[in-house]
């Protein structure tokens, strides 16, 4: 893909990130942070592509390590966030 195009995408995504979370109530700061932390585990995609048998054992070791760590980040991050959000209840909401 064209480099300039990727830089273009970067700029737009960055501005979107700035706009998205203005005025978030403080009670949601923790889930927001841990939820976006899980998204930063997207590097898992890079890790999957890095695990490769044909390019030397060093690359394989690094790729596998990256894959395991990124998977922990993704799976753990989403589950922890969900667990936290499950606790936020309205009054009289206990039966759900």
Partner 1 sequence: MSPALTNLAYIVAAILFVFGIKMLGRAETARSGNRLSALGMLIAIVATLAQSGLAYTWIAAGLALGAIIGVLAARLVRMTAMPEMVALFNGFGGLASLLVGWAELEKILHLSAPVYFFHNPVVPTFTWLAIALAVAIGGMTFTGSILAWGKLSGKFGSKAVVFSAQRIVNSLLLLAILVAFAGFVLGSGILASTTVYGLFLGLIAGALLLGILAVLPIGGGDMPVVIALLNSLSGLAAAAAGFVIFNNVLIVAGALVGCSGLILTIIMCKAMNRSLPNVLFSGFGAVEESAGGDTITGEMKAASLEDAYYVLEAASSVVIIPGYGMAVAQAQHAVKELGDLLEANGATVRYAIHPVAGRMPGHMNVLLAEADVPYEQLCEMEAVNPIMGTVDVAIVIGANDVVNPAAVTEKNCPIYGMPIINAHHARTVFALKRGKGAGFSGLVNQLYFLDKTRMLYGDAKSTVTGLVAEFKSAR
95 contributes a contact to partner 1 by CB under 8 A: no
Query: If DSSP codes are grouped into helix, strand and coil, which group holds residue 54?
Result: coil
Query: CB of residue 19 vs partner 1: minimum separation in angstroms?
Result: 9
Query: CB of residue 4 vs partner 1: minimum separation in angstroms?
Result: 11
62 contributes a contact to partner 1 by CB under 8 A: yes
86 contributes a contact to partner 1 by CB under 8 A: yes
* Residue 85, token pair as written in the block: 């959000």
Residue 70 burial (CB count, 10 A)? 20
Query: For residues 46 and 66, is the Cβ–Cβ distance under 8 A?
Result: yes
Site for partner 1 in 31-60 (CB under 8 A): 31-53, 55-56, 58-60
4 contributes a contact to partner 1 by CB under 8 A: no
- Classify each residue of 3-41 as buried b or exposed e, where b means 16 or more C-beta atoms within 10 Å of its C-beta: eeeeeeeeeeeeeeeeeeeeeeeeeeeebeebbebbeeb
96 contributes a contact to partner 1 by CB under 8 A: no
Query: CB of residue 95 vs partner 1: minimum separation in angstroms?
Result: 12
26 contributes a contact to partner 1 by CB under 8 A: yes
């Amino acid at each position: 893909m064209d480099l300039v195009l990727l830089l273009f995408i970067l700029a737009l995504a960055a501005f979107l990130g700035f706009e998205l979370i203005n005025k978030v109530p403080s009670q949601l700061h923790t889930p927001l942070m841990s939820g976006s932390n899980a998204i930063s585990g997207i590097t898992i995609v890079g890790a999957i592509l890095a695990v490769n048998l044909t390019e030397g054992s060093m690359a394989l070791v690094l790729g596998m390590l990256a894959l395991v760590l990124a998977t922990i980040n993704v799976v753990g991050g989403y589950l922890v966030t969900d667990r936290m959000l499950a606790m936020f209840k309205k009054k009289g909401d206990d039966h759900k």
